[in-house]
Structure 1
Amino acid sequence: MNKTLAWTAVLSLAVAVICLSLANSIAGNEWRGGRWWNFASSCRGSGDGTKPGSVTLVWQPISSEFQIALPATVTYRPGTPSQAVVSGDPEAVSHVRLSGNVLAFDDGFDCDGRPVSVQLTGPAVPSWRLSGSGRLELSALAQEALDLRISGSGDVRASGSVQD
């Protein structure tokens, strides 16, 4: 009897570990931060008319690297003024932040599926980091070097000339 009970306990523990591992792999980043159990989401309707569908964010470059950490289509063209024009779903647009050289949603936004596009103009950027499922389109490049790093399912298209 004790032997059967011990095997049942060991098997139950193994099944529990497998189930928790599977749940963690499916939930991904949602598991961290407690959003996996909270069914209340910051994702609301596509706007009540009080939020604009387009905003202009001033970009003050602080380094030679630019990081995109949101699922958006970002189109970059060298030029002036240094700014990001964000357009799309009003709820999503209101949560986009440009802090230094990082373009991302703020921490309170929990609805990545909303369509957002960003028109970015500014100085030459030799180093780009794309995280997640965003799309980066670089046009009219004329610079010495270009370093692209993609983590996730992002997509990059570029046109212009790079020497190195």
Structure 2
Amino acid sequence: MNKTLAWTAVLSLAVAVICLSLANSIAGNEWRGGRWWNFASSCRGSGDGTKPGSVTLAWQPISSEFQIALPATVTYRPGTPSQAVVSGDPEAVSHVRLSGNVLAFDDGFDCDGRPVSVQLTGPAVPSWRLSGSGRLELSALAQEALDLRISGSGDVRASGSVQD
């Protein structure tokens, strides 16, 4: 009985290896398209965050909702000019994108643990969406309404006045 079970296990393992090899040869590098399959990190540079980088991104508001989809500390203050000043690890900073009202890493970045902070100034934003583990700090608010939605372990702190 034990001998039969052992042979069944060995044969099953061999079939699994053959199937995975066949799938890899057919799909090539495409099967690793998801970030969680990518064991070779795209992180380069010092990686220790001791040499901070900084970039200023122009912000052209396109709606009354702003979405944050990266693990960063984002500090918002109403004012001009409408921009985002991103600072932190140079490799992480180079992958931050502000597209319309969405602040996120680009698709090729897989080093979410690198520290990033964003100083955001612009017009009043009545609706905020925070996805993931980011932190949002709203200061000097003076607006009619405020809608906050958090998906994940994010944290929001706000000061100022809101009518509704």
* TM-score band, normalised by shorter chain: 0.7 to 0.9
**TM-superposed deviation, 1:38:** 2.9
More displaced 10-residue stretch of structure 1: 114-123 or 46-55: 46-55
Change (3 A) 1:32 1:78: farther
Instruction: Give the gaps of 5 or more residues in structure 2.
Output: none
The 2-side partners of 1:87 and 1:26 are apart by 42
Residue 56 and residue 19 in structure 1: after superposition, are their counterparts in 2 closer, same or farther (change >3 A)?
A: farther
What per-residue deviation string (whole Å, max 9, x for no partner) do you get for residues 35-82 of structure 1?
A: 343321112233699997000000000000000000000000000000
Task: Summarize the Cα distance change of 1:126–1:15 in structure 2 as closer, same or farther, 3 Å threshold.
Answer: farther
SS at 2:60's partner residue? coil
- What is the rounded CA distance, in whole Å, between the counterparts of 1:114 and 1:48 in structure 2? 8
Quote the Cα distance in structure 2 between the aligned partners of 1:84 and 1:65. 16
User: Is the CA contact (8 Å cut-off) linking 2:51 and 2:89 kept in structure 1?
Assistant: no
Deviations for 1:92-129, whole angstroms, at most 9, x for unmatched residues? 00000000000000000000000000000000000000
Other structure's SS at 1:63 match: coil
CA contact under 8 A between 1:127 and 1:148: conserved in structure 2? yes
The DSSP-based 3-state class of the residue aligned with 2:103 is strand
RMSD: 6.3
Q: TM-score, normalised by structure 2?
A: 0.78
Please give the alpha-carbon distance, in whole angstroms, between the structure 2 residues aligned to 1:27 and 1:74.
40
- Matched with 2:123 is 123
Asked if 2 retains the 8 angstrom alpha-carbon contact of 1:30 and 1:36, the reply is no
Distance 1:145 1:75 in 2: 19
CA separation in 1, counterparts of 2:129 and 2:44? 29
Contact 1:95–1:105 (Cα < 8 Å) also in 2: yes
Please tell me whether the aligned partners of residues 137 and 158 of structure 1 are also in contact (alpha carbons under 8 angstroms).
yes
Distance 1:49 1:151, change over 3 A: closer
Q: State, as a whole percentage, how many aligned pairs show the same letter.
A: 99
Contact 1:27–1:36 (CA under 8 A) maintained in structure 2:
no
Contact 2:146 2:162 in 1 (8 A): yes
Pairs within 5 Å for 1:57-76: 57-76=57-76
CA distance in 2, matches of 1:18, 1:58: 52
Q: Which has the larger radius of gyration?
A: 2
1:51–1:94 Cα contact (<8 Å) kept: no
**Separation of aligned partners in 2, 1:129 and 1:42:** 27
How many pairs are equivalent? 164
